[in-house]
Amino acid sequence: MKATDGNDMTIEVLLVEDSPGDVRLMQEVFRVANSRVRLHVASDGVEAMAFLRQWGDNAHCPRPDLILLDLNLPKMDGREVLSLIKEDEGLRTIPTIILTTSDAEGDIVNSYQHQANCYLRKPVELEAFESLVKSINHFWLTKVKLPRQVQNG
């Protein structure tokens, strides 16, 4: 989180999602639910890791306070992204929420084995999706104490 003017803190959220419709909906719900959220989007796992590791054009990207990670992604799937995040000493403390359509027991177990902070199944109904995003905002971005960002030297 970065202070913007005293008590007002910008919350950096990285959404790793390849569905343009889900991205638009997430942007709209966060815009209404929490104006402090600055939502960054990576549409595949390779793009997500470049953002997180600040490679190339991402050299000045902020370290997210929270990651929302889909499992079924092109180029590098979310399972591998989660493993890389949690193996990286500089990234592992970023809370990572799995947000996916998969209800497979293997995906749930694997996600927690790789230290996902929670596993949420994306509802297909619009109102249920909006409600879920609002509950993520309420719990993770207003109730939970997130670790302070570590500035890269």
Q: Tell me the average pLDDT across 58-80.
A: 93
Is residue 147 situated within a structural domain? no
Is residue 71 situated within a structural domain? yes
Is residue 150 situated within a structural domain? no
- 91 pLDDT band, cuts 50/70/90, is very high
Is residue 152 situated within a structural domain? no
* Parallel, antiparallel or unpaired: strands 118-121 and 2-3: unpaired
What pLDDT is attached to residue 8? 62
Residue span of the structural domain in which 61 resides: 2-141
Provide the CATH number for the domain around residue 110: 3.40.50.2300
The pLDDT tens digits for 1-51 are 544 334 468 899 999 999 999 999 999 999 998 999 999 999 999 999 999
Q: DSSP string spanning 67-136?
A: EEE-SS-SSS-HHHHHHHHHH-TTTTTS-EEEEES---HHHHHHHHHTT-SEEEEPPSSHHHHHHHHHHH
- 149 pLDDT band, cuts 50/70/90, is low
Is residue 149 situated within a structural domain? no
C-beta atoms surrounding 142 within 10 Å: 11
What pLDDT is attached to residue 56? 86
Could you tell me the pTM of the whole model? 0.89
Chain CA centroid to CA 20, Å: 15
Is residue 153 situated within a structural domain? no
Number of domains in the chain: 1
Is residue 76 situated within a structural domain? yes
What pLDDT is attached to residue 58? 84
Is residue 96 situated within a structural domain? yes
